[in-house]
Amino acid sequence: MAVPADDIPTFNLKAVVQETGLKPDTLRAWERRYGLPRPERSRGKHRLYSQRDIEILKWLIARQEEGMTISRAVDLWHKLVAEGLDPLQTLPAETGTTAVTSLAGEMLNRLRDDWVAACVAFDETRAEQLLAQAFALYPPETVCLDILRRGLITIGEGWHAGRLTVQQEHFASELAVRRLEALIAATQPTRPGRILLGCPPEEVHTFTVLLLSFLLRRRGWHTLYLGANIPLNRFETALEQARPQLVILGAQLLTTAATLADMADLLLELRVPLAFGGLVFTQTPGLVERIPGYYLGHRLEDAPMEVEKLLSAPPPLPKPVSMPPGYAEARSHFLAQVPHIHMRVNQLLTAAGLVNQGPLTSLHLFIANTHLAQSIHAALRLGDLNFLRTDISWIQGLLAERHLPEEALRVYIQAYYQAAVEHLDSRGAVIVAYLRQLAHPDTNNGHHGLTLSGV
């Protein structure tokens, strides 16, 4: 029976080195320790490799670039062979001398998709089995970043789009947080000093900050994680007891970016350096400049290195943008008038047939009003009402869940604008002007009522 052309030993060691980029010592070590590949020998006892041997080496390199150790890559090869699969076809490596560089390899994608499916099905046993398999193949950092974090993002997007329930999202988050806490407890710090991490008042999304705590622990840093919703009035006591070299805070929402700003002011007063990050800062242009601290950047993967730079040689603290005149007064006035504004919004939308007898319940309207009021209050605290743009999309999603057309958001904002005109005086002029832009983007002045008939 003829030997397949790819299996014919043709290439000497020098040719393989040029093709794969591996050093001769590495090739010999892999052959000796792991039995992959298994080159033939010439009459002069020189190694001769086949084309398949070269593809095996490229396959192993690709798995290393995805984050596996060489021993785990070899174990995966044998596992696939034992299942009757050809690893070169199941998880192919890219051609050429460079290996796969993306962490989102096919095996990682498959494990993440399966983990998400198990979480959505409330199958805890299956979800834990998949994580155990992932940790057996990949370093902990890879599993946490590419399976847990990206899996939670996928589930969160499904919830926001209405495909998944909040219970499914909470179930997955709880599994991920529990796993992270166990990893942190098993990782002992080796470097001096302390880094304090947590979430500002009202922030309950803890996974990202907890993950950063773990990544720093893996690099030897002594991290103290204070959890969600740290009360501002007790924060100073924690600082006095812990005496951290650096405080790291994370915010995911505009409202908690505002409470983070309050904590930042306290830290500035106490001369304790602050680093911060979170989803809201990546989504909201200009928001970073409102916080007196060091921004850790848009990529969580890079944050540990940024932290180490701050600890070794901190640059001058960026000077935050000052608060526009009148914003503090507008904020206080708005808070006092919120109950009256919301009552008027309810009256206007009820008269328009959208509430009670219409598609919106009083509860949905209460949620929308509360969210918008909190966002306006936060934007005023942060000094720019344009920060509201991202948060208003959340209200649009709420209305879309009730199968209302996109125009419903405009009608809602028009009602809110009309109520603000009636209940805010000159102290709230900046709020009224901004709501007018949202409600009537094609006009710059004048009072406008709702576009729905009957109001």
Q: Let me know whether 112 and 138 are in one domain.
A: yes
Residue with tokens 């208003």: 392
Flag the least confident range among 87-91, 293-297, 364-368.
87-91
156, 186, 216: which is the final residue of a domain?
Answer: 186
Is beta strand 47-48 parallel, antiparallel or unpaired with respect to 40-41? antiparallel
Q: What is the pLDDT of residues 20-70, one digit of tens each?
A: 889 988 998 898 888 888 888 888 888 899 989 999 999 998 888 777 788
Q: Let me know whether 37 and 117 are in one domain.
A: no
Q: Let me know whether 356 and 310 are in one domain.
A: no
Q: Let me know whether 333 and 418 are in one domain.
A: yes
Residue 229 forms part of a structural domain:
yes
90, 116, 139: which is the final residue of a domain?
Answer: 90
Domain of residue 259, residue span: 191-321
Residue 53 forms part of a structural domain:
yes
pLDDT at 363: 80
Tally of domains within the chain: 4
Rg (CA), the chain: 29
Element (H, E) at 224: strand 223-225
Is beta strand 274-277 parallel, antiparallel or unpaired with respect to 246-250? parallel
Within 148-231, where are the H helices?
150-160, 166-185, 207-218
Residue 131 forms part of a structural domain:
yes
Nearest to 419 by CA among 318, 345, 336, 313: 345
Q: pLDDT grade, residue 450 (50/70/90)? A: very low
Q: What is the pLDDT of residues 267-290, one digit of tens each?
A: 999 999 999 999 999 989 899 999
Mean per-residue pLDDT, 341-362: 81
pLDDT at 321: 80
Number of Cβ atoms within 10 Å of the Cβ of 417: 26
pLDDT at 38: 87
What angle in degrees, to the nearest 10, is found between the helix axes of 362-382 and 254-270? 30
Q: pLDDT grade, residue 193 (50/70/90)? A: confident
Q: Let me know whether 267 and 374 are in one domain.
A: no
In CATH, what number is assigned to the domain containing residue 72?
A: 1.10.1660.10
pLDDT at 268: 92
Q: Let me know whether 398 and 298 are in one domain.
A: no
Q: List residues bridging with 277 in a β-sheet.
A: 250
The percent helix, strand, coil of the chain (3-state, each to 5) is: 60, 5, 35
In CATH, what number is assigned to the domain containing residue 277?
A: 3.40.50.280
Residue 176 forms part of a structural domain:
yes
Mean per-residue pLDDT, 163-175: 92
Q: Let me know whether 389 and 311 are in one domain.
A: no
Q: Let me know whether 138 and 254 are in one domain.
A: no
Residue 455 forms part of a structural domain:
no
pLDDT at 170: 93
Is the model's pLDDT at 77 over the cut of 80? Answer: yes
283, 304, 321: which is the final residue of a domain?
Answer: 321
Cβ atoms of residues 211 and 304 within 8 Å:
no
In CATH, what number is assigned to the domain containing residue 170?
A: 1.10.1240.10
Q: Let me know whether 272 and 307 are in one domain.
A: yes
Flag the least confident range among 91-95, 211-215, 340-344, 448-452.
448-452
Element (H, E) at 285: none
pLDDT at 412: 85
Within 325-361, where are the H helices?
327-351
Residue 195 forms part of a structural domain:
yes
Contacts (Cβ under 8 Å, ≥6 apart) of 382? 254, 257, 258, 261, 287, 290
Residue 98 forms part of a structural domain:
no
Higher pLDDT, 99 or 311: 311
Q: For all residues of the chain together, what is the average pLDDT?
A: 85
pLDDT at 442: 66
pLDDT at 373: 94
Q: Let me know whether 84 and 205 are in one domain.
A: no
Over pLDDT 70: what percentage of the chain? 88
Q: What is the pLDDT of residues 195-235, one digit of tens each?
A: 999 999 999 989 999 999 999 999 999 999 999 999 988 89
DSSP 198: E
Whether the predicted model's global pTM rises above the 0.85 cut: no
Q: Let me know whether 366 and 314 are in one domain.
A: no
Residue 449 forms part of a structural domain:
no
Q: Let me know whether 300 and 203 are in one domain.
A: yes
Contacts (Cβ under 8 Å, ≥6 apart) of 385? 376, 379, 430, 431, 434
Residue with tokens 């309950």: 204
